[in-house]
Chain A
């Protein structure tokens, strides 16, 4: 990729490359509670340890917070997006996470957050959790939607029967190559803040940022992913294909820290939009803030069918 032409914006080099993403299954759930704080507690717990499907089973994050006028029960709430590699795994993760983190959290209720389509896939929400009620659970159909009322010690836990599952896109990404840790964090934080303002996407890693970007495969047979050595500043001079060595294009030798942002979205367009605003925000940080170059994780087409070309996203003709 380093031999290909690159463009610059605000002094930041944008590699002529693309982020390679893969298909996932996703759903959105709405968690409400007596106060926003308790809805947040539930959502944070439910999306914990959900950074990468490599070992977590799902990738999840808080999409946004909701006012009382936006939720089914008129209480404050939180939208959560959960992505998995299959509908079956998504259902398993939902049941575990909602059961352990939402059912248990004071005053919460949980609803489907996506519109239902005729014949579309669904995953169980309250359908199996109802058995916690030990026979005292009650089904209630309101306006054609089935809810379960499970008696709990603060009253009752209300959960919608199921939630629609849709095809989605996982693994959109940006690599932010900076002079040092401060510069990389500043660019990453700016990008994540801009992306969080968009709907239908989450950045599942801690704070939206991942420092252990990976490549496909490993020298160890039992690992299917390993460190992205081409972008590890600590391996410059050791890795023949390093992106940060003298043959790595402009600024290559000045780069001391790289951060990645991973984006999961409900559609290809959602991921593209998030990558675009993320790049623009990071470019705003510029070399003055320490950001020197933006690249993306490209695995030679081995990972997935969705390719997000950085120059196209930015409109390369405008780049200067």
Chain B
């Protein structure tokens, strides 16, 4: 498996579908074969070389995209190994259905980032749009594994129907955070919109901001109940794991927590954890 550098020639006129351009798919291909890889542009197919200047990269098994890729969707789609680095923004569905490897986006990303992600690591330095770490329309399960880190803010419905894995937002998040969550862990550093944990069955949502109040609509909701039982072992394990990501999460192991259990309208075994 060899690496490639792809520098954007110019912003395309229409949206481009980059599914199929993954380290595994490019492994063993010659430069000519890589240049001729077909990618969708609107309703036509273009050769990859029509959009990018392609050169061999130094890093084995790594793809490096340079330029503003905001019109490029499905970067790292179904990726299973290797590394992709986007030195700019990314479009929709980045890291969708990813099973392994590492996707790093230096800018912001569009809608449905990490949707139905099952493994590997996604790291977005900027903001992400709505439905990140969520489910594709019509699917039952959202994120199913791996680690998803957003350094900026997240849109609405972050982690909708999430089933497994860890998702962190260093900034804030919109409404319906972790809605219909089945399991897994979401941790948020900033403020959160209304209805966090709406319909969650299991899983943990951690609010790391010091003295964070429960989001609007949650404390008053009769479907979440405060819990006074000590859970030092679980919290020590989880807080130590989250602390690895630094920022507001770094001092979590030293913080006390307050837990609210719910959503009782679903299964009632989820928890909203407020760090005091």
Contacts and interface: CB of A to CB of B under 8 A. Distances in A.
Nearest to B147: A143
A303 B261 CA distance: 56
B238 A73 contact: no
B237 A156 contact: no
Contacts of B32: none
Interface in B232-276: 232-234, 236-238, 240-241, 253, 269
Contacts of B184: 141
Given A73-B236, A74-B236, A75-B236, A142 B241 contact: yes
A246 B238 CA distance: 67
B233 A32 contact: yes
Contact of B232 (A73, A136, A140): A73
Interface in B214-238: 229-234, 236-238
A305 to B, nearest CB: 41
A75 B233 contact: yes
A73 B237 CA distance: 6
B101 to A, nearest CB: 15
Given A138-B269, A142-B241, A156-B229, A147 B234 contact: yes
A75 B204 CA distance: 22
B227 to A, nearest CB: 10
B229 A155 contact: yes
A74 B204 contact: no
B92 interface: no
A136 B269 contact: yes
A158 B237 contact: yes
Contacts of A136: 269
A154 B164 CA distance: 27
Contacts of A143: 241
A109 interface: yes
Given A140-B238, A142-B238, A156 B233 contact: yes
Contact of A158 (B183, B202, B229, B233): B233
Contacts of B234: 140, 147, 149, 156, 158
A136 B269 CA distance: 7
Please classify the interface of chain B as helix (H, G, I), strand (E, B), loop, or mixed, using the class held by over half of its residues. Answer: mixed
A109 B164 contact: no
Contacts of A74: 236, 240, 253
A72 interface: yes
Interface in B11-43: none
A154 B233 CA distance: 12
Contacts of B229: 151, 155-156
Contacts of A156: 229, 231, 233-234
B183 A139 contact: yes
B253 A140 contact: no
Contacts of B185: 140, 142
Interface in A15-38: 32, 34
Nearest to B271: A138
Interface string B157-183: 000000011100000000000000001
A156 B183 CA distance: 18
Contacts of A158: 233-234, 237
Contacts of A109: 233
Interface string A54-91: 00000000000000000011110000000000000000
Interface in B122-166: 164-166
Contacts of A147: 234, 237
Given A156-B229, A156-B231, A140 B204 contact: yes
A109 B237 CA distance: 11
Contacts of A155: 229-232
Contacts of A151: 229
A149 B231 CA distance: 9
Contacts of B232: 34, 73, 75, 155
Nearest to B164: A141
Nearest to A146: B164
A140 B233 CA distance: 12
21 contacts: A72-B236, A72-B237, A73-B233, A75-B236, A138-B202, A138-B269, A139-B183, A140-B185, A140-B204, A140-B237, A140-B238, A141-B165, A141-B184, A142-B166, A142-B238, A142-B241, A147-B234, A147-B237, A149-B234, A156-B231, A158-B234
Interface of A: 32, 34, 72-75, 109, 136, 138-143, 147, 149, 151, 154-156, 158
Given A74-B236, A74-B253, A75-B233, 9 more contacts: A75-B232, A138-B202, A140-B185, A140-B234, A141-B164, A142-B166, A147-B237, A158-B234, A158-B237
Query: When A and B form their complex, which 5 residue pairs have the shortest distance between CB atoms, in order from nearest?
Result: A73-B236, A158-B233, A109-B233, A155-B230, A155-B229
